[in-house]
Amino acid sequence: MSEDKKPAQSSLSLSDQEIVEELTGGQEQPLTEMPPKKKDTIDESSPALSKFLSNPNSYVSYISPQLLSDGSNITQWIDSIEDLAALVFGIKKFLADEKNFSLLSDQMDRSLHHIIKTSISLDLKPILKETGSSLEAIQTVRKNFHKLTRARQLELINSLIWMEELSALGIDIAPEVQGLFLQALTSPPTGTSRTQLNNLILAATEKTDE
């Protein structure tokens, strides 16, 4: 009686390790680090948070510089508030994501709202008078200076157009004098980059050519 023959194993069969080596060229692949999980809670037992909530007014001086009425230092002001938020809430770049505000308890929100309202110029305080939360206060400040920047950019365009019109009338003004005069007339608005300024000058030139 003939013995049952077992099917011959293929010589092409590869182990899992051999398959990996075949795909990677025999080189070890570095482990891909997973991005840190976003923090979705605030440690209410934090000593820094407890101190902040017990006396938020003592942290007003932590915000430096105070926001000026022309908004020229708004970037530094926001950075300072974010530094404070990182200290007391344990969340970096707190203002970068509006969802972070939903993590605040009522007391946390009131305390942060107080900091925002008391760390701005006296001239700006009226615009935050009706705000009811820290998020609303930040949104109001940003919106206010966005509008102000646009208005100043339009003012700059009009000034440039006027200078071009003088030249068109045959009034020769040396470039150096033009630059000094324009600088005295109006400085580039806060938040206007060099590229934006060049675009404004180009837009003014195009308007005078129409």
Quote the pLDDT of residue 146: 57
Tokens 């308007």: give the residue.
207
Amino acid, single-letter form, for residue 62:
Y
Question: Residues in the chain, how many?
Answer: 210
**For the chain, what are the domain ranges?**
47-145, 148-209
Amino acid, single-letter form, for residue 20:
V
Nearest Cα residue to 116 out of 67, 50, 68, 149: 67
CA atoms within a 13 Å half-sphere pointing along the CA-CB vector of 9:
4
What is the rounded average pLDDT for all residues in the chain? 75
What are the pLDDT tens digits along the chain (210 aa)?
A: 555 555 554 444 555 566 546 555 555 555 555 554 555 789 999 999 999 999 999 999 999 999 998 888 888 999 999 999 999 999 999 999 999 999 999 999 999 999 999 999 999 999 999 999 999 999 999 888 855 445 455 555 566 666 666 666 666 666 666 665 566 555 555 555 555 555 555 555 555 455
Quote the pLDDT of residue 167: 62
pTM: 0.57
pLDDT in tens, 142-193: 888 855 445 455 555 566 666 666 666 666 666 666 665 566 555 555 555 5
